[in-house]
A and B are shown apart, each in its own frame.
Chain A
Amino acid sequence: MTTAISLDNLDISYSGNRVVQGVTFDVAEGESFALVGESGSGKSTVLKAIAGLAPEWTGGMTVLGKPRGHGPDKDLARTCQMVFQDPYGSLHPRKTVDAVLSEPLAIHGLGDRSERIEKALRDVGLDRRFRFRYPHQMSGGQRQRVAIARALMLEPKIMLLDEPTSALDVSVQAEILNLLKRLRAEQNLTYLLVSHDLPVVGFMCDRIAVMTKGQIVEIAPVTALHDGAFSDPYSRTLYAASGG
């Protein structure tokens, strides 16, 4: 089994302030790995550093065996994509679904745009009618489906998911979680999910890394959520507060 993402003693700073220190973990290809923690724990920052949106980091980082540069790059875009938290902020307000989904194809000079867009819409369970709608004509769940479709346009191997359902209603959350789970099985994707919601993580992931104050305190298998078998005191507090 190969490693999809490997972080070795990663420190991340924002304008000089170190917010994440000494993060080390490996995500195997095809695995679904979760970073959980409360706001300010640095979990989203790790995701951003992998994506290239938080370039001030030191340490080792490889994606699919290749060392990772500090900014976003075009090659990485083909293998690693991200879905953001806020379905209202992650789509350009003046572009139709069609324009949003054509953009990655145009950047990478891929053909068959119409077929690819139609296929992507089918994959995320959106009707063809949505193809020329603007974001304001869609609900939050539909927008998030479009954002997922955009991330899948370049057929990446790794998906970085930053709280993909926390802005959605619970019934819509269930639909999106099911969708993400089905896509992972169908396209053999690797997920790195950031969430504060332990039950969501329990549904989606194989392994969990608990973060607080910029550090990973524990990496546990998902079964720890069933029986509360966490070794670190912070993990246990978090587990108890989440109703475990």
Chain B
Amino acid sequence: MTEPLLSVRNLHVNFPTPQGRVDVVKGVSFDLGQERLGIVGESGSGKSMTGRAILRLIRPPGRVTAEKLEFQGRDLLSLPEREMRHLRGARISMVMQDPRYSLNPVMTIGRQIAEALRAHEKLSRSATRARVRDMLESVQINDPDRVAKMYPHEVSGGMGQRVMIAMMLIPKPKVLIADEPTSALDVSVQAQVLDLIDTLVRDQGMGLILISHDLQLVARYCDQILVMNAGRVVERCAAGELDRATHPYTKGLLASVPRMNETRDELPTLDRTAWEGT
């Protein structure tokens, strides 16, 4: 394998509480090349914090430490805030859960996407417009000129999320972090959005970190999977080998999801005492 795009060793994130500082991420390590990595876990497992820590989006009093946090050989932890801001968006982008909160409600969609591009690249007005048009087309928006003139509240959730993706991908980043990109969407739209992310990531040779609570979904769209529980990575495996998972937490998680052809009378539940303390 070639030099990884992103390299994380022993990442810790902690927050102060009345009982002292508490680690919400306890030593996460992984390498990301031009591949799709899934981070799965339940709420409070630290999966979102891991994603935010990479982009240094953890605000004080939260604190991030790591042995190594490198993007293309550059140390992200010691980078000055100005360069970090340049890196965010241009090199590493992030798609958040709900497009309604991530888009500026008083700016048209076209202008917001153009803004995202202009912040990282100097282009003429007509070139910018052409790029925005292309980008909207590539996220499968049929009528890009009309949509570009619309405001975020005028589009549906699925369309909004596609606009978000367009905005994040227009500066051609190397790594895309998608934090629960579809959990606010309907099932039929979910598949469209994920297929879209998948195609774009493959075509542009990017690295993808897909953060989700849904094991099946991650297994379908990723190459590698990290399962997190209580701030630690408890299982790492190739997506195809998920059914051969060894850790009791992963197995329990898999078993507790109802299946389409459900015949069990009772769903197995996690025995949380089985691995706590390990």
Binding site for B on A (CB under 8 A): 38-39, 140, 169-175, 177-178, 181, 196-200, 202-203, 225-226, 237-238, 241-244
Q: Is the CB of B188 within 8 A of A238?
A: yes
**Cβ–Cβ < 8 Å partners of B267 in chain A:** 174, 177-178, 203
Q: Which of B177-220 contact A (CB under 8 A)?
A: 186-188, 190-191, 213-216
Q: Is the CB of A170 within 8 A of B42?
A: yes
Knowing A169-B213, A170-B42, A171-B269, say if A202 contacts B260 (CB, 8 Å).
yes
Q: Is the CB of A225 within 8 A of B191?
A: no
| B244: interface (CB < 8 Å) | no
Please pick, from B214, B216, B258, the residue contacting A177 in the complex, using a CB distance under 8 A. B258
Q: Is the CB of B269 within 8 A of A199?
A: no
Q: Is the CB of B42 within 8 A of A199?
A: no
Knowing A171-B42, A199-B262, say if A241 contacts B188 (CB, 8 Å).
yes
Q: For residue B261, which residue of chain A has the nearest CB? A: A226
Give 3 nearest A-B pairs by CB, closest first.
A174-B256, A169-B42, A174-B267
B219 to chain A, nearest CB (A): 11
Q: For residue A202, which residue of chain B has the nearest CB? A: B262
B185 to chain A, nearest CB (A): 9
Please pick, from A170, A177, A196, the residue contacting B253 in the complex, using a CB distance under 8 A. A170
Q: For residue B190, which residue of chain A has the nearest CB? A: A241
Residue pairs across A and B with Cβ atoms less than 8 A apart, 17 shown, are A140-B43, A173-B257, A174-B256, A174-B268, A174-B269, A175-B269, A178-B266, A181-B265, A199-B257, A199-B260, A225-B260, A225-B261, A225-B262, A226-B260, A238-B188, A241-B188, A243-B260
**Cβ–Cβ < 8 Å partners of B253 in chain A:** 170-171
CA distance A173 to B42 in the complex (A): 11
Q: Is the CB of B216 within 8 A of A243?
A: yes
Q: For residue B215, which residue of chain A has the nearest CB? A: A170
Knowing A241-B191, A243-B216, say if A203 contacts B186 (CB, 8 Å).
no
Q: Is the CB of A171 within 8 A of B188?
A: no
CA distance A165 to B187 in the complex (A): 16
CA distance A18 to B187 in the complex (A): 25
Q: Is the CB of B269 within 8 A of A200?
A: no
**Cβ–Cβ < 8 Å partners of B191 in chain A:** 241
CA distance A12 to B228 in the complex (A): 45
**Cβ–Cβ < 8 Å partners of A238 in chain B:** 187-188
Q: For residue B45, which residue of chain A has the nearest CB? A: A169
CA distance A238 to B260 in the complex (A): 12
Q: For residue B256, which residue of chain A has the nearest CB? A: A174
Most buried by B among A39, A181, A244: A39
**Cβ–Cβ < 8 Å partners of B262 in chain A:** 199, 202-203, 225
| B73: interface (CB < 8 Å) | no
Q: For residue B257, which residue of chain A has the nearest CB? A: A170
**Cβ–Cβ < 8 Å partners of A170 in chain B:** 42, 213-215, 253, 256-257
Q: Which of B259-278 contact A (CB under 8 A)?
A: 259-262, 264-270
CA distance A167 to B264 in the complex (A): 23
CA distance A178 to B252 in the complex (A): 15
Please pick, from B213, B258, B266, the residue contacting A202 in the complex, using a CB distance under 8 A. B258
**Cβ–Cβ < 8 Å partners of A140 in chain B:** 43
**Cβ–Cβ < 8 Å partners of B264 in chain A:** 203
Knowing A171-B42, A174-B268, A177-B267, say if A244 contacts B260 (CB, 8 Å).
yes
Q: Mark B20-43, 1 if CB is under 8 A from A, else 0.
A: 000000000000000000000011
CA distance A178 to B266 in the complex (A): 6
**Cβ–Cβ < 8 Å partners of B269 in chain A:** 171, 174-175, 178
CA distance A238 to B258 in the complex (A): 17
A170-B214, A181-B266, A241-B191 are known; give 10 further A-B pairs, CB within 8 A: A169-B43, A169-B213, A170-B215, A170-B253, A174-B256, A198-B260, A199-B259, A199-B262, A203-B267, A238-B188
